[in-house]
Amino acid sequence: MSFAGKVWRLLVGIKDGLSLILLLMFFSALFAILSARPSPGVVREGALYLQLDGSVVEEASALDPLNLLLSQELPAAQYQARDLIAALDAAATDDRIKAVVLDLSAFTGGGHIHMQEVGAAMDRVRKAKKPVLTFALAYTDDSMMLAAHASEVWVDPLGGALIMGPGGQRLYYKGLLDYLKVNARVYRVGTYKSAVEPYMRNDMSPEARENAQALYSSIWEEYKAKIRSARPKAQIDRVTTDPAAWLKENLGDNARAALSAGLVDKVGDWEAFGKHVASIVGEDPFDGSPGAFAKTELQPWLAAIRPASTGGKAIGIVTIAGEISDGEAGPGEAGGARISQILDDALTDNLAALVVRVDSPGGTITGSEAIRRAIMRQKRKGIPIVVSMGNYAASGGYWVSTPADRIFAEPETVTGSIGVYGVVPTFEKALANWGVGTDGVSTTPLSGQPDILAGFTPQIESVLQQTVEHEYGVFLSLVAKSRGMTPQQVDRIGQGRVWDGGSARQLGLVDQFGDLDAAIQWAAQKAGLKQGNWHAKYLGSRPDPYATLIQRMLGSESESARAGSRDLFATVAGREQARIGQAIGDVSRLMGGSGAQAYCLECAALPSGKPANPRPGGLTAQFLRLVR
């Protein structure tokens, strides 16, 4: 017994010793991480360094600390457009910042409206007589829009530029569903409501093609006009009309071709670029690596710049970004319950006005209606309601916009898509093919319905179609009341058709062009507030105090991100991965059981800075959600 006790005490001692060693290792690593770089808020004289190793979005998705630590892998970085704009505007007036540097080596893109807004902020820095420089291995549509606003554009000798324009192919599943003997039962209203076409056809319908061609052509012409305005010497037509001939003229050297077409100013590697920046802003006294220059990175800069004014009355800003769903999802996804709660919590805040920032292709009818009702509860307080549309405010995104007293959009905003659909898969053909029969008794025409295994009866088919038609009628009535039209007039411009912002303004779906700042200014004026007597308050915006720490622990900054630079082949591969994500999103909409939808399919073919399926966790996690 004495021997057993000694062994037990030895084992306990070993366990305690190991626990102590692990704790010491953890806190040592934590101290090293926190002391490895300047603390947030410490600004060094030199350049403002914006390393966009990810995408620009309206609202960054929330990080799940437990999932991050278990997976030991960070999702693609997301940068909120308003943060970048605030950082650039502060840099324009701060004497500590001598220049702005955008490292786009690992940039994955963003929505067209966000690119224009960030580009305009870059123009304001240049107007303050401060140089703005960009560097990348490969410039594509979105990064080229940013670079067009720079005073100097550098590209790596092994890089180049490739402008592809909006549009492209998407997947259609009718043949596959027939092969698998899955019956995708579709209920819709709207000649142009193409969100269900992938389940009904193996190609695009003439109506959908007509709508998409008009939409993408308008956005493409606006894109080219913006590039020419920001960078007059860029030969955008030469680059996009016959890119193979343009490249052949330069012996296949893409970097040289980009230089010859005026897309870039200098060809050089990161070391040469860094030395050039250092000649402007000074060398980095703490970093002797090639290409180092004195700089302050984004997060310390955001922590250091003066916080927004809190004087006067508050104008609330609520963000509806990503697909609209019914629950608590988000940020980064517009969970109807979450956003409704945010708005209801603000009922006691004595807001002078409410600005609703919408950047959503739509989603569930029930989630959209929950948000609309919450906005209406704010409106019943007698305050002005203003909607500011970002890249998209289509389908459910327009549904939640209907309480607005004024709607602001940009010429390239995608909106409209006033239509409703539902799709439910049934498997009676598959079961019959496998030799499985179904039988039973019923007391009413709806007993046991809807039955996805035995199939639907004509009665339930009629009920579901009538439900969709009724919800479309509700949609028409909401828009008609909001826009001063009759339901018949709305129906003529509805039918699921998608419009660019310019067309939407002519049709009366949008009141005027303007960005978020213009919408906030209008709300203040409508509320009778003079400049200086109000401040903007983002509702429900609570930064995660642990996010930066976790990002540092997993090594997401600077050098590691630069190692992930994207050349043209990596860019093409990234697009194919996005298509896989889009396919998973299509299956999720078919199998997810989310109820009637008001969703814009055309929006998926335009850049947004987010994958087709906005749920975080990677492709594997998305697949597991479908099969579990």
Q: Are 116 and 149 in contact (CB under 8 A)?
A: no
Phi, psi at 596, each rounded to 5°? -60, 145
With a cut of 80, say whether residue 461 has pLDDT above it.
yes
With a cut of 80, say whether residue 329 has pLDDT above it.
yes
Q: Give the chain's length.
A: 628
Give the residue with greater pLDDT, 138 vs 19. Answer: 138
The type of residue at 488 is: Q
pTM of the model: 0.83
Tens digits of per-residue pLDDT, 155-192? 999 999 999 998 888 889 999 999 999 998 888 887 77
The type of residue at 591 is: M
Query: What's the confidence (pLDDT) of residue 37?
Result: 46
3-class state of residue 15 by DSSP: helix
Question: Is 130 a catalytic site residue?
Answer: no
Of 614, 617, 544, 56, residue with least CA distance to 330: 614
Residue partners of 24: CB distance under 8 A and separation at least 6: none
For residue 331, give Cα distances in angstroms to 314, 413, 483, 599, 609.
22, 21, 30, 19, 15
CATH code, residues 313-434+447-538 = 3.90.226.10
Query: What's the confidence (pLDDT) of residue 620?
Result: 35
Average pLDDT over residues 189-205: 85
CA torsion angle for 500, 501, 503, 509 (degrees, to 10)? 120
Tens digits of per-residue pLDDT, 410-434? 999 999 999 988 888 899 899 899 9
Question: Is 395 a catalytic site residue?
Answer: yes
Q: Are 267 and 154 in contact (CB under 8 A)?
A: yes
User: How far is CA 513 from its chain centroid?
Assistant: 21
Would you place residue 559 in the very low, low, confident or very high pLDDT band (cuts 50, 70, 90)? very low
Q: Evaluate the CA torsion angle 169, 171, 174, 175 in order and state its sign.
A: positive
Report how far residue 308's alpha carbon sits from residue 317's, in angstroms, rounded to the nearest whole number: 14
Query: What's the confidence (pLDDT) of residue 61?
Result: 86
Active-site entry in 98, 130, 193, 226: 193
DSSP for 274-311, written as a single string:
HHHHHHHH---TT--STT---EEEHHHHHHHSPPPP--
CATH 3.30.70.990 fits 46-167+221-304, yes or no: no
Active-site entry in 105, 395, 401, 594: 395
With a cut of 50, say whether residue 591 has pLDDT above it.
yes
Query: What's the confidence (pLDDT) of residue 617?
Result: 39
Q: Are 139 and 107 in contact (CB under 8 A)?
A: no
Q: Are 464 and 422 in contact (CB under 8 A)?
A: yes
3-class state of residue 421 by DSSP: strand
Residue 252, Ramachandran bin (φ over 0: left; ψ between -120 and 50: alpha; else beta): left
Query: What's the confidence (pLDDT) of residue 557?
Result: 45
3-class state of residue 260 by DSSP: helix
Query: What's the confidence (pLDDT) of residue 615?
Result: 41
Pairing, β 183-189 against β 420-426: antiparallel
